Structure 1
Amino acid sequence: MKVDRWEHLLAEAIDTARGKPFVWGVHDCPTFAFETHMILTGGDDIAALWRGRYTTALGGQRVMRRLGWVSLEDMGCALLGAPHPSVLLAGRGDLVLADTGLGFGICTGRAAVGMAPEGLVSVPLTSCRLAWSV
């Protein structure tokens, strides 16, 4: 369930992310997506499980395995439950998992945004393979 003014909070989170550099374990794809999830729902800081615990992609994979997840899909399902039956059912603010270099991101309508090494990127929603309701 989203908090009041979630649309404003979503826009703010995206604007803030746009101005921050990509940093593994601090401001990367899962950290951005799950921190935005927390902002939109007023829920727990799930990203605290891995924030600051790795500095490379390989280190992120190791932390993920230590937490019991084999893949990003496993991570998403463990933390968010079953995904939508179709990614095309995702609504603004929902978490997505993209097939193209983005990893976890946030649905903005027909696109998704997320952190990549080159900074905040946008990909078409059709390039995402899974989505979870927020």
Structure 2
Amino acid sequence: MSRVATWEPRLHALITGAMHRPFAWGSHDCALWGADIVLALTGTDHGAAFRGTYDDAAGAAAALRTHGAGTITRTFDRHLERITPGLAQRGDLVMIGNGRAGSIGVCMGALGWFVSDEGLISKPRPEWSRAWRA
């Protein structure tokens, strides 16, 4: 998947806009955050089938079974190339935790930005368990 020419300002705008936006199932959760990153970078929306279809954790799990590959990890594996977290570059997707209880974020160098109840939070590279080229 190739990035659009304007991916850098689009990524910056997305991060700036989400900095203080709290977590919300079905509109601003980690899966849709990852899809939003890929959309900003490539123009491809892998999250279109998911948007607006759930509003809680059980609904998110059902959406992953219905529209995805069963888990968040397998769903991202279906659409993106998995890479070693240590090789992630700016704009690539990264994960903390495991495939069932993990959270997707975006690599911005040594830190990844992840959705939380307080807005975006950063986690350092050594905490990343998986990564995908975006």
Q: Secondary structure at the match of 1:47?
A: coil
Report percent identity of matched pairs. Answer: 33
User: Quick one: which amino acid aligns to residue 83 of structure 1?
Assistant: R
With structure 2 as the length reference, what TM-score do the two structures score?
Answer: 0.88
User: Quick one: which amino acid aligns to residue 91 of structure 1?
Assistant: Q
Segments of structure 1 that go 5 or more residues without pairing to the other structure are: none
Q: Compute the displacement of 1:6 (Å).
A: 2.1
Q: Compute the displacement of 1:18 (Å).
A: 1.2
Contact map agreement 1:13 1:36 (CA 8 A) in 2 = yes
User: Quick one: which amino acid aligns to residue 95 of structure 2?
Assistant: L
Q: Compute the displacement of 1:102 (Å).
A: 5.9
User: 1:99 and 2:80 equivalent?
Assistant: no
Map of 1:70 onto structure 2: 70
Map of 1:21 onto structure 2: 22
User: Quick one: which amino acid aligns to residue 87 of structure 1?
Assistant: P
C-alpha distance after superposition, 1:12-44 (max 9, x if no partner)? 1100011323210101111112112111112x2
Structure 1 runs (4+) deviating above 4 angstroms are none
Map of 2:9 onto structure 1: 8
Give the 3 Å change call, closer, same or farther, for CA 31–68 of structure 1 in structure 2.
closer
Map of 2:132 onto structure 1: 132
With structure 1 as the length reference, what TM-score do the two structures score?
Answer: 0.88
Q: Please give the alpha-carbon distance, in whole angstroms, between the structure 2 residues aligned to 1:25 and 1:117.
A: 14
User: 1:89 and 2:109 equivalent?
Assistant: no
